[in-house]
């Protein structure tokens, strides 16, 4: 099978949404933050330092945001 864009879009992301809805836990969308930036993934899977920084910034925004009412 392997890790491909199609596997992520059609299998992994739907599973994540399912778990999120069943557990009432929000999703932090790193896919959108990093999509169309292949240069950030030298081995096509793992981010380089710049990609990791975008991930950290995206996560920090979500976990430090005030709770929704």
Helix, strand, or coil (residue 4): coil
5-64 pLDDT tens trace: 888 889 988 999 999 999 988 899 898 999 899 999 999 889 999 999 999 999 999 999
Which residue's structure tokens are 């380089």?
A: 48
First-to-final CA distance of the chain? 41
Count of alpha carbons within 13 Å of 25, Cβ hemisphere only? 9
Residue 1: pLDDT over 70: no
Query: What is residue 14's predicted lDDT score, i.e. its pLDDT?
Result: 95
Residue 13 contacts residue 28 (beta carbons within 8 Å): no
Residue 29 contacts residue 50 (beta carbons within 8 Å): no
Residue 7 contacts residue 1 (beta carbons within 8 Å): yes
């Amino acid at each position: 099978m392997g890790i491909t864009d199609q596997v992520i879009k059609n299998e992994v992301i739907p599973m994540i949404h399912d778990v999120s809805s069943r557990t009432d836990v929000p999703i932090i969308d790193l896919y959108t933050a990093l999509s169309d930036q292949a240069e950030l993934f030298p081995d096509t899977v793992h981010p380089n330092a710049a990609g990791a920084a975008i991930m950290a910034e995206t996560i920090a925004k979500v976990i430090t945001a005030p709770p929704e009412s």
